Amino acid sequence: MIRFILLLSLLALPLSVVAQPPQSVAWNIVEGLTTEVGPRLAGTEAESMARIWAVGKLKALGFSNVRSEAFVMPVWVRGDERASLTYDHGPQNLIITALGNSGATPTNGLNGEVIGFSSLEEMIAAPNDEIRGKIVYIGNAMHATQDGSSYGYFGNARRKGPNIAAKKGAVAVVIRSIGTDHHRMPHTGVTNWDADVKPIPSAALSSPDADQIERNLARQHKCFEEFQQKAACSLVSLKLLLTPKFIGERQSGNVIAEVPGTDPAAGVVVIGGHLDSWDLGTGAIDDGAGVAITTAAAKAILDSGKKPRRTVRVIWWGAEEVGGFGGAAYFKAHGTEAHAFASESDFGADRIWRVDFGLPDSAKALVARLTSALAALGIGPGSDPASGGTDVGELVKSGVPVIDLQQDGTRYFDLHHTADDTLDKIDRVQLEQNVAAWAIVLDAVANAPENLLFRVK
């Protein structure tokens, strides 16, 4: 009878609840963070809520010394964002999103002729006279690579393009999204201004909308060539409305948790991901996955019941996306402490396929042990020097040993910094492969008998 009642009550549950596989630590974190907090733009109320959530979660998981370390930073928030191509027969709406730190248009928008460039270099080479008073478009199409290496080069159109265009007299900038999808899904991300440059309105177009502008520019170009005079051809022009604003200095913070070690003189091992996200999606792959993967690996050490030699310090970094403020604040507060290792997971949740090392010569045996242990998960050694990620960049630059567990980035830039960065994009099998690899590395570096306090450089 009891069995029958149980069966009946199970049947009364929605099928999705019954069908869920058991929750792993990593899935539980990324599912909880994206569902209960959602988007968490640095310095906002949402990121503050994420820190409260993080402290509660890390305490509940059994970590020691759980705390939030605050710092202040300048905050930019998104407003309305609309764009249309202006044809004689009427406007055609385009899908855009403002770049982080973008300036605003007047409240009723801005109209301008578009001047197009296929790359940042082409725009830099153009005479200022051609650019002055116009809306600059930068094409710069990025293609997917497994290691994500193309982001460094193509991303410069977003990071540096608007500042350079503003200096050359542009009234606004629109770029093709720094992404590899073909959906009407624009990719945001930070753009940087020199101290003496007034931010101009700057936005990213979805890839199909960038194609539309390019086809129109090609027709305009052909028309110029045929008639040799501008007046004979209809110019490509845009109406743009962007109303983001800077709201001054606000509080952000790093959330820190530890598994205390037995040998304080051996140095601290730092791992983690960044807690803040862009505001468009729920920050599942960027970087809910990273905090989930690294925390689950540390939880495995905790659950082993054996104290590690070195203290494991898990950091959920604040304000990474908007300029690495969390990493800078941590280095200022803790940079002089003995660090034996630092690494970050910040490239989604797809499987790790390669490992790059940045360890001192004294740790050759550790590299050999790790290479063999990771091979069992299908991970082979690479030859690039490891760099660790934005938040541990200062530590690594100071010579702290580092390992990069390289994830498959083939689809990462389809989703990166878009509204499509949501939980359903995380493949649970690949997520767990990440946790397994991080657990191997963490166990090895936290317990290595080798001295890891010899600086790498």
Residues contributing to the site for Zn ion (CB under 5 A): 286-287, 346
Quick one: 346 or 350, whose CB is closer to Zn ion? 346
Q: Which is nearer to Zn ion, 240 or 297 (CB)?
A: 297
Exposed / middle / buried, residue 342 (Cβ in 10 Å: 0-12, 13-18, 19+): buried
What is the SS3 assignment for 369-435?
A: HHHHHHHCCCCEECCCCCCCCHHHHHHHHCCCCEEEEEECCCCHHHHCCCCCCCHHHCCHHHHHHHH
Q: In angstroms, what is the minimal distance from the CB of 41 to Zn ion? A: 13
C-alpha to C-alpha distance for 44 and 100, rounded to whole angstroms: 14
**Whose Cβ is closer to Zn ion: residue 27's or residue 413's?**
413
Which residue, among 138, 275, 268, has the nearest Cα to 210 in the 3D structure? 138
> Measured from the CB of residue 192, what is the shortest distance to Zn ion in angstroms?
16
Closest distance to Zn ion from the beta carbon of 418 (Å): 13
The distance of closest approach from Cβ of residue 310 to Zn ion in the complex, given in angstroms and rounded to an integer, is 26
Find the shortest distance in angstroms from Cβ 148 to Zn ion: 11
**What is the C-alpha to C-alpha distance for residues 417 and 177, in angstroms, rounded to an integer?**
10
Q: How many CA atoms lie within 13 A of 399 on its CB side?
A: 11
Nearer to Zn ion, 279 or 286 (CB): 286
Which C-beta is closer to Zn ion: that of 418 or that of 447?
418
Q: Whose CA is closest to 428, among 17, 30, 84?
A: 30
- DSSP, collapsed to helix, strand or coil, labels residue 143 as coil
Q: Judged by CB, which is closer to Zn ion: 346, or 356?
A: 346
Of 134 and 351, nearer to Zn ion (C-beta) is: 351
3-state helix/strand/coil string of 25-69: HHHHHHHHHHHHHCCCCCCCHHHHHHHHHHHHHHHHCCCEEEEEE
Side chain identity at residue 225, one-letter code = E
Pick 42 or 359: Cβ nearer Zn ion: 42
Torsion-angle region of 299 (φ positive above 0: left; ψ -120 to 50: alpha; else: beta): alpha
Nearer to Zn ion, 391 or 432 (CB): 391
Which is it for the CA torsion 318, 323, 325, 326, positive or negative?
positive
Considering the complex, what minimum distance in angstroms separates the CB of residue 289 from Zn ion?
Answer: 9
Residue type, 82: R
Amino acid of residue 435: V
* Residue 286 beta carbon to Zn ion: minimum distance, rounded to whole angstroms: 4
8 Å CB contact between 91 and 237? no
Comparison of 95 and 275: residue with beta carbon closer to Zn ion: 275
CB of 390 to Zn ion, least distance (A): 8
Distance of closest approach, residue 278 Cβ to Zn ion, in angstroms: 9
- Three-class HEC string of 248-288: EEEEEEEEEEEECCCCHHHCEEEEEEECCCCCCCCCHHHHH
Q: At closest approach, how far in Å is the CB of 301 from Zn ion?
A: 24
Least distance to Zn ion, CB of residue 226, Å: 47
Beta-strand pair 402-407/352-358: antiparallel
Q: Which is nearer to Zn ion, 116 or 272 (CB)?
A: 272
**β-pairing verdict for 202-205 and 312-317:** unpaired
